[in-house]
A = this chain, B = another copy of it.
């Protein structure tokens, strides 16, 4: 029985029925938010031996949320609404809510509760196995878990969208409306630009000096410093938190409860700072969604690609700019008097423009990052399509890596075991990282056009103009548009990878003296 079902008298007019249906959907969102808290706590706080029971807890809540989302009466009510006057003549938000709640219902209702529970439980356990496997660089520890996860996800794809390509069906959970052939074509064009750019940088006689970011930066000082930076760009700590995890993330635990995490490295100024700029970028999006629509499509993120565009924009296009460094450097110098005594805003900005082929995605630079993503996109798609067996993932990983980067991982910990995503069931998720870079570059170009004083503002620590632009053109819409339409509307141009290509070639070309 679903939560809070008022009597039929409440549902006599279209508006009453709409309110009732929204109440039902919001209750599912309450359960999803509790699930998010269980996940956040698991990563940040939970004692080690509590892991097994956490799986049971996650399974129970996921099962209840699924039951709420797939209640047949709710489905009938959505069908009634979809055929009624509000679906045609309601406000854009109301029409969006009806259309997408119905789409989500249709998807979810096709998935048996057994599969939902199995996925939740298996993924918690697989993530624990991943921790052990990565620490020991033991592929065989993870392989059986990954096989289970891929099998369950393939089953999920077939249930959710029986007529779609199974990879597109998974992609739809993260990038609604995304189609793999289009993404593959876009990525392929981009790869053909990025590999030469990486090689040109490697071959250049000029290489930015990054010694300054690799000095000693005490973690306690970093914690104060990055918190200050996150606050200044607009992250609201009255509605959010910052904690420590090995794999940084941003999680929404409620309309006013957005939690970001980071790693700390006393030998690096950039790990936590750019990690937090990234996650706070996600956080600004979460905090910018209309709270009055929380739990309903107009209050939800458009896609993970759009989500990632917000984090990348702040991390790379703002954070690595000369204007940002002009503002940030004096702040950093005050926080780290010793290590930054002899440095300058210019040396800081230079140090952030390194292109260096490397093994670990989360440590990759802005240019080569996309190569890491594209290979994961190709590999996971091959497994889902049955073209690659899970057992062959390590070899396929290493071959593809060598092809793009010119050298091979020495261990699986440096290779196929490095990411938690597949263990967590996040398949069809990786491409959203590079889609985010593509969207970010196009949005930033549009914002620059609309805000001619942007660099002067950033250099003065005035981030509110840019944030207001993003709120107005991106955040305020929630899921009202799919990502391509949203970016097109904000920028006035069809989505294309060319802004990312131009941005990378221009900025890194300059740093490496290629232009």
Q: Is A268 an interface residue (CB 8 A)?
A: no
B3 touches A47 (CB 8 A): no
Stretch from A58-66, A134-142, A305-313, A384-392 that touches the partner: A58-66
Is the beta-carbon distance between A57 and B254 smaller than 8 angstroms? yes
Query: Which residue on B lies nearest to A67, using beta carbons?
Result: B1
- Cα distance, A73 to B118, chains bound together (Å): 26
* Residues from chain B with Cβ under 8 Å of A57 in the complex: 30, 33-34, 37, 254
Interface of A is mostly: helix
Which of A78-86, A185-193, A233-241, A414-422 makes up part of the contact surface?
Answer: A233-241
A53 contacts chain B at the CB level, 8 A cutoff: yes
Given the interface pairs A1-B67, A54-B254, the reply to whether A60 lies near B34 with Cβ below 8 Å is yes
Please tell me if the beta carbons of A34 and B34 are within 8 angstroms of each other in the complex.
Answer: yes
CA distance A34 to B63 in the complex (A): 14
The distance in angstroms between the C-alpha atoms of A226 and B41, with both chains bound, is: 24
This chain's copy number in the assembly: 2
Question: What is the distance, in angstroms, from A55's C-beta to the closest C-beta of chain B?
Answer: 10
Tell me whether A253 is interfacial, beta carbon within 8 Å: yes
Contacts of A30 in B (CB 8 A): 56-57, 60
CB contacts (< 8 Å) of A1 on chain B: these are 1, 67
From 161 to 186 in chain A, residues with beta carbon under 8 angstroms from any chain B beta carbon are: none
Residues of B within 8 A of A34 (CB): 34, 38, 57, 60-61
Q: Do the beta carbons of A50 and B3 come within 8 Å of each other?
A: no
The chain B residue with its CB closest to the CB of A241 is: B47
New A-B contacts (16) at CB < 8 Å, excluding given A3-B60, A34-B34: A1-B1, A3-B63, A31-B60, A34-B38, A37-B37, A41-B41, A46-B257, A47-B237, A47-B238, A47-B240, A47-B256, A49-B238, A50-B239, A50-B254, A52-B256, A53-B254
Those 5 A-B pairs whose CB atoms lie nearest each other, nearest first: A50-B257, A53-B254, A49-B256, A30-B60, A49-B239
